[in-house]
Each structure stands twice: as C-alpha cells, then as structure tokens.
Amino acid sequence: MPQPSIDLRALIDERPFGRYRTFVTALCGLIVFLDGFDTQAIGYVAPAIVHALGIERSALSPVFSASLVGLTLGALVGGPVSDRIGRRPVLIAGMLIFGAMSLATAFASSVPALLVLRLLTGIGLGCVMPNAIALTGEFAPERVRSTAIMVMFCGFSLGAALGGLAAAGLIRDYGWPSVFVVGGLLPLAAALLAWRHLPESPRFLVVQAKHPARLLAVLRKLAPDLPEDVRIDSGIDVHAKGQASVSALFADKRARITALLWVIFFMSLMDLYFLSSWLPTVIHDAGIALDTAAIITSMLQIGGTLGTLTLGRVFDRVPPFKALGVVYLGAAVCVVLVGLAGTSVAVLAATIFAAGFCVVGGQIGANALAARTYPTTIRGTGVGWALGIGRIGSIAGPMVGGVLLALHWDPQHLFMMAAVPVAIAGVAAFTISALAQREARLEARRVARTASDAT
C-alpha cells in the first residue's frame, strides 16, 4: 500500500486558522511588543540620562545613531542566518541579546558605555523583526497572510506607545535605570517562553528535510488527524525552491522586484522617521504649546495602528502592490496637507492621523508583502535586507529634516519635501504591480501555448 502524501501548502492554506496559529501569531506579537518597548526606551529616558550624567543633550546623538546602526546590522545579519538555521533560534537569540544588553544598560555610567550597549541592543532587536514577520507569514494561510502579519506587527506600535506610559512612572518612582531593568527582564522571560512553546516554521522544516519528526509534530498541531506514516510534500509550492544567500534575492527574475522593494523600504522609513522626529518641534515652533504638540503628534501612531488593522484585509483581497501604491500616494497628499494646516489643532490632528494611517500602515503593509514576495529559503534574507536598507533611510530621515530646519524652511515647503519620499515609494509599488501583471500574462500565454501544442 503506497505511503499517504500531504501537500504542505494545501494543508496550511485550506485548514482553518484555529487556536494554534492564533497562539503563534500572538506570541510573535508579544515578542515585537517587547521589541517596540526596547527600541523606543532610549528616547523616553534621554532627558533623565542627560540630567543624571550632567551632559549636554547633543552628547546623546551618537547613542541614538548607535541604536539605529545596530538595528540595521541585526536585520542584515539575522535574516540570512535564519534561512540557514531556522526562524526560531534566531528569534530566541535576538531576544536574549537585546534583553541582556538592555539590562546591562541600567548600569551604564558614561556615554561611551551607553553607545556600545545600545549598539549591541540594536543588533538583537534587528534580528527579531524579520524573523517574527517570516514566522507569522509561514504559519498563516494565503487568504489572510497579510492580515496576520500586520495584526501581529501592531504589537510593535503598542510596545512603543505603552512603553512611554510605563517609562514615565518608572522614572518618577525608581529612576531611569529601572526602564532598562524592565526592558531587559521581560525579553529574557519571553525568550524562555518562546524556547518552550514557539514552534519552528513548517515551511522551513520541509525545505530543510532534516527533521521529519519535528515537522510532523508541528503539523499535528494544525491537523490532528494526520496519519502516522504520512509523507509531507511541498507539492507545487515554489517556496521550496531557491538557495539561502543575498545573491539569491536577485536571481530567477527577482532583481527588479528586490531593487524596487528596497526603494520602498528606504523611502517609507525615511519619511516615517522624518515625521516622528520633527513633528513636535515644527508644531511647537508654529506657536502651539509643547504638551499639545506631543498629543497631536501621537495621532501619527494612532492613525498608523488603525491603518494597519484596516489595510491587511485590503492587501489580502486586491492586487497588493497596486493597493500599496495607492496608500503611499495618499500618504503624499496627507503629508502635504499637514504643512497647509497652519495652527489649527483640529486640522493638524486630522491630517497627522491620516498621514499616520497611510505612512505607518503602508510601511507595515510593505513588511507583509516582502514576506509574501520571497520563497521560504530566502524569506528571512529578503525581509531582513529590506528592513536593513529601510533602516538606512530611518537614519537619513531625521538628518535631512535637521538640515532643512537649519535652512529655516517654512512648514509648507518642509512638508512638501517630506511628501516626496512616499510618492517615490508609491511609484515603486505600482511598478512592482505592473511587473507582476506582465509576468502573469506571459505565464498564461505559455500555458495556453503548451496546451495548444499538446492537442
């Protein structure tokens, strides 16, 4: 009697989402929640550190830069490594690194020590993000993959936002080191939780073909009725093809799409960090009280969270890169409107909310679409390098804003300039959509020609 065979892609795509996949998505969401808390921690405690160490504010600029450089290095390294050894070990290692380094930061007593520790913390944080995205996407069925990734990624925004509330109380009651103690102990505890309960990606395991027992154990969580002697096939799943390397991102007709994805990530994160860094300053300089400016600026992340929850379903139902192009062009319009809002608090809040909906929602959507673009063997590399290139944009954004402010640009022209990067990202997304449609038409013609020749 022949051994029964199961198509992995069909099993993942056709079975209900269920409790187990909800648990995996929620656990990845918890991990990026802690990632968001630690990423923003240095910003929350910066004023207290300046006071405690008796230094100028400008002395912390290298520390901020070191965090972003670490995030870039972590993404560039962590993604490719996960394509070789698995998503799970790199995720856990990333949490252990940023947890331990954050805990050590609580005992830093000088700027050089802070710089080194934040660089190492950033490397750990950078390893986590692409693998949380890849793992969530590889467990999710095709019909809701973008939604699952984007809902999971809301954990990052919540961690960054709620971290501010927690930091305020911790600094007041226990001093600035307490923020890093909490930001270190929680990831270490989460790493233990992930070590015990977080599974490896079934797509990765079937590609590696080295751990059939582990693969079957994971799949039984999705489909308890699987026979004991079942053979797991990738079937027609293209995710089983490819070789884990950065050069593979440019092989098999992927070169143009990879380059365009890098343009999207660079421009989108450049604009996002430009806005989040300088909005409070620009609004305050226009004559609005600083506390009101901070509340108005929070609309960027609030709008982004709503955009994330809304756009996932859109990307799952319509041509996703075409939808992403529309979102980014909408972002360009909204950013221009922020500059035209003047000093009206209501109008500023509305336009910044709309800008956040499109800019933040678009960026998180780009994360999801990058995970859908690449095969399993290079998915971590693809997402990690896109995020790494984007992090370079996140470093450039605040610098460009600082230069423009030093040149005394007025808000109208400042935000017109800020609309350019997301407009470029929109054009790149439309181009990817056009390339995908062209490839689909060519494939349809090849199939039709083959069928005609056969008859």
Q: Which domain holds residue 272?
A: 246-454
Claim to verify: residue 316 and residue 201 sit in the same structural domain: no
- What CATH number is associated with residue 397? 1.20.1250.20
Please name the residue ranges forming H helices in 286-298: 290-297
Claim to verify: residue 198 and residue 222 sit in the same structural domain: yes
Claim to verify: residue 161 and residue 268 sit in the same structural domain: no
| Burial letters 68-104, b for 16+ CB under 10 A, else e | bbbbbbbbbbbbbbbbeebbbebbbbbbbbbbbbbbb
The C-alpha atoms of residue 30 and residue 24 are separated, in whole angstroms, by 10
Could you state, in chain order, the average pLDDT of each consecutive group of 10 residues for the chain (455 residues)? 68 85 94 86 77 78 83 91 91 95 92 92 92 92 89 85 76 87 94 94 82 82 76 55 73 90 96 84 79 78 87 90 96 94 88 93 92 87 92 87 85 92 96 89 75 65
Task: Take residue 210 and report the two structure tokens written for it.
Answer: 């080295």
Query: What burial class does residue 259 get, using C-beta atoms within 10 Å of its C-beta: 0-12 exposed, 13-18 middle, 19+ buried?
Result: middle
Task: Say if 58 falls within a structural domain.
Answer: yes
Give the single-character DSSP code of 140: S
Claim to verify: residue 231 and residue 262 sit in the same structural domain: no
Claim to verify: residue 162 and residue 40 sit in the same structural domain: yes
Give the single-character DSSP code of 201: P
* pTM given for the model: 0.84
Q: Are strands 5-7 and 231-233 parallel, antiparallel or unpaired?
A: parallel
Cβ pair 358, 426 in contact under 8 A: no
* Spatial CB neighbours of 102, under 8 Å, sequence gap ≥ 6: 38, 41, 121, 180, 183, 184, 187
Beta-ladder partners of 7: 233
Q: pLDDT, tens digit, for every residue of 218-261?
A: 888 888 877 766 677 655 444 444 556 788 899 888 899 999 99
Give the single-character DSSP code of 233: E
pLDDT the model gives residue 119: 93
Number of domains in the chain: 2
